[in-house]
Amino acid sequence: MIALTRLILHTDSIKNADVNTFKNAAVTLSKFYKSNYVGDSVKVKFVRSGQEIVEEINNVAVGKLITLDIVSHGNQGGIHIARKLPKTERPGFIQKNAHVMIRRHSDNPQTEVDAEYMEESMHGLYSDHFSKLGVAYYYNQTFERSTDINYLNKIEFNRFANSSVVEFHGCRTAEFIPGLNSWIKDNFAKNFSDSLKGKGIVIGHITNSSPNKHPNGNDNDYRYGKVRIYKNGSMTKDAVERWGLKFENSSTP
Amino acid sequence: MKKITLVSIVVMIVVGYFYFFQPHITFEEVRVTYEPEEIKTVYVNVTGDPLCAKLYILDHMENNKPVASKEPLFLAMPMGVSSPEDGSLAYSDNIFVFKGYRYQLKENNKLTNDSRDLYSHRFDVIAWYVITPYKKWNVKTNAEEINEPEIIMEPVSYKLDNKHHNSSQFVKGNYVDCLR
């Protein structure tokens, strides 16, 4: 009989400090699962791209993936993985202008000079092509030669067990922006839940997260802060504090 | 009737475009200090985005621990020099002191020729040092072990040799303020 799998993925980043932080949070989760779910197979894996995330999920036996934790950067569009370009590149006309205009009303408006060059390339897992485009324009990053980007429709959702728990520890994957999310595109956690259907719950942060401010004093734990929870594509909890919440089968049972 | 509807739609799109995207407004960054100044910052471990700023101006000390303000510093390093945010000293609560030049953001309205000054987080770095003792990442190759920090007393610093500090010599990183 094949054991249930608890898959913990921690991702690459531009900054080494973030890579180390993600790894530490993944090890924290792994220790917890190992001591609380004896007999389950706990797998911790460093992944460098959306393609690798999809491969790791699709490699699990059908119906055996009981928890999926992804410790990474994140945003509305998905699990965001970026890398420094060896050499800066000029963005196209539309991207350059879109980048400046999208940031126009932010606390950090961009100058024409700021948008002159792209410094990073994208490699993450996004809801779909449109979501990826939004992320690329917002951050002025290139994706054109990144063959390792992937989308939700490449995940085989039959790998998940019934009553599974998916938790995105990165930022803003469940953020709701009126207008954008109500009319144009749902956030990543909602889109993931749509595909997962009734098999399990999806937990995503709605703000930025810092692991070193956890109320339990642990520097390596993202399970606090405001989250949204989805099941079968519907929101079951809105903007609730993650710290103290309990879910069957999860890292906080 | 069809013509009126079409014209109304075009007008609405144009008005919406100007209202939301304000193509007539441009921003530029200009130096506000001609003499270099020193700024004390604290490394904040916010991991929202790959481009999150990590250094925030030190507000005060509380029980011997630094408390960051909400003001980030967007470092512009001399060409070819890497930022201390990228190295092994990039650890939560380490205090970095930077010497260099502050900037201001100028908002220019092409239609009215008005301009107004806004706060800029850009800082051209000509020197920096980390306050001792500080924490340094001790990276374990074992995937199951937490990377605990080492406490280091050895001073680390950087100083630009070149005496010319023109703006064009400094490269600003692509930053996002993730604490807002």
DSSP string, chain B: -HHHHHHHHHHHHHHHHHHHH-TTEEEEEEE--SS-EEEEEEE----SSTTB--EEEEEEEETTEEEEEEEE-EEEEETTPPPGGGSTT--TT-EEEEEEEEEEEEEEETTT--EEEEEEEEEEEEEEEEPSSEEEE---S-TTS--PEEEE-S--EEE---S---GGGEEE---B-TT-
pLDDT band at B3 (very low <50, low <70, confident <90, very high): confident
pLDDT at B23: 80
* Domains, chain A, ordered by start: 5-79+150-241 (3.40.50), 84-139 (no CATH)
Question: Which chain B residue lies closest to A30 (C-alpha atoms)?
Answer: B144
pLDDT value at A178 more than 80? no
Residue A51: CB atoms within 10 Å: 18
Query: What percent of chain A lies above the pLDDT cut of 90?
Result: 77
Contact B37/B97 with Cβ under 8 angstroms? no
What would the two tokens of residue B52 be?
């999150």
Reduced to 3 states (helix: H, G, I; strand: E, B; else coil), residue A163 is strand
> Who has greater pLDDT, B164 or B160?
B160
Distance from CA of B104 to the nearest CA of A (A): 12
Contacts with B178 from chain A: Cβ below 8 Å? 171, 208
CB contact under 8 A, B47 and A22: yes
pLDDT at B134: 97
A204 touches chain B (CB under 8 A): no
Query: Using one digit for the tens of pLDDT, what is the confidence trace for B61-94?
Result: 999 999 999 999 999 999 989 999 988 999 999 9
DSSP state of A130: H
* CB-nearest partner of A140 from B47, B50, B174: B174
Say how far residue A50 (Cα) sits from the centre of its chain. Answer: 10
Q: Tokens 């270099």 appear where?
A: B36
**Average pLDDT for B41-66:** 92
Cis-peptide, bond into residue A211, ω within 30° of zero: no
Distance from CA of A104 to the nearest CA of B (A): 7
CB contact under 8 A, B176 and A139: yes
pTM over 0.90: yes
Does residue B38 lie in a domain region? yes
CB contact under 8 A, B45 and A80: no
- CA gap A108, B176 in Å, rounded: 7
Beta bridge partners of B96: B41, B130
Q: Tokens 């890579």 appear where?
A: A19
Beta bridge partners of A45: A9
Q: What does each C-alpha distance from A170 to A53, A209, B50, B173 come to in angstroms?
A: 14, 7, 11, 22
Distance from CA of A84 to the nearest CA of B (A): 10
* CB-nearest partner of A108 from B85, B137, B176: B176
State the residue range of the domain holding B89. 25-172
Does residue B66 lie in a domain region? yes
Does residue B12 lie in a domain region? no
Number of folded domains in chain B?
Answer: 1
Does residue B130 lie in a domain region? yes
Does residue B10 lie in a domain region? no
Angle between helices A93-102 and A129-139 (to 10 degrees): 70
